[in-house]
Amino acid sequence: MVRYGIGQQSFEVLRERNCVYVDKTRFIEEIISTGSQYYFLGRPRRFGKSLFLSTLKFFFQGRRDLFKGLYADTMDWDWTPHPVLYIDLNIETYSNERDLDDVLDSMLKGWEAEYDVTEESENISVRFSNIIKAACRKTGKKVVILVDEYDKPLVGNLNDSEMFEFYRKKLASLYSNFKSSADYIRLVFLTGVSRFGHLSVFSGLNNIMDISFDNQFSDICGITEDELSDNFAEGIQELSRTHGKTPDEIKALLKKWYDGYRFSSRGRDIYNPFSIVYVMGTNEFDNYWIQSGQATLLKEQLRRFDVDLKSLFNAECEIEELRGLDLDNPRPVALLYQTGYLTIKSYADGLYTLGIPNQEVKRSFLLYLLPAYANLNNNSSSFVLRNFMAELKAGDAEAFMTRLTSLFAAVPYDMNMDREQNLHNALLILMMLIGIDVRTEYRTSKGRIDLFIKTDRYYYIMELKLNRPAREALDQINDRDYALPFATDGREVIRIGISFSSEARTITDWIIQA
DSSP string, 76-141: S-------EEEEE-TT----STTHHHHHHHHHHHHHHHHTT-----S-HHHHHHHHHHHHHHHHSS
Q: Topology of 373-513 in CATH?
A: Trna Endonuclease; Chain: A, domain 1 (3.40.1350)
**pLDDT score of 428 more than 70:** yes
Output the pLDDT for position 495.
Answer: 97
Q: Where are the domains of the chain?
A: 11-217, 224-371, 373-513
8 Å CB contact between 130 and 117: yes
**pLDDT score of 290 more than 70:** yes
**CATH number of the structural domain 11-217:** 3.40.50.300
**pLDDT score of 238 more than 70:** yes
Q: What is the pLDDT of residues 269-278, one digit of tens each?
A: 999 999 999 9
Same fold: 11-217 with 373-513: no
pLDDT band, very low/low/confident/very high, at 436 (cuts 50, 70, 90): confident
Output the pLDDT for position 191.
Answer: 96
The rounded mean pLDDT for the chain is: 89
Q: What is the pTM of this model?
A: 0.87
- Percent of the chain beyond pLDDT 90? 63
pLDDT band, very low/low/confident/very high, at 416 (cuts 50, 70, 90): very low
Burial label, 132 (beta-carbon count in 10 A; 0-12, 13-18, 19+): buried
- The 10 Å Cβ neighbour count of residue 190 is 27
The lowest-confidence range among 109-118, 218-227, 314-323 is 314-323
- Strands of the 185-192 sheet, one edge to the other: 84-88, 143-148, 185-192, 38-42, 209-210
Output the pLDDT for position 417.
Answer: 43
8 Å CB contact between 258 and 279: yes
Output the pLDDT for position 254.
Answer: 98
Calculate the alpha carbon distances from 422 to 315, 375, 378 in Å: 19, 12, 19
Distance CA 430, CA 400 (A): 12
Q: Give the residue ranges of DSSP H helices in 260-324.
A: 273-282, 288-291, 296-304, 309-313, 320-323
Mean pLDDT, rounded, for 21-43: 95
Mean pLDDT, rounded, for 358-367: 87
**pLDDT score of 302 more than 70:** no
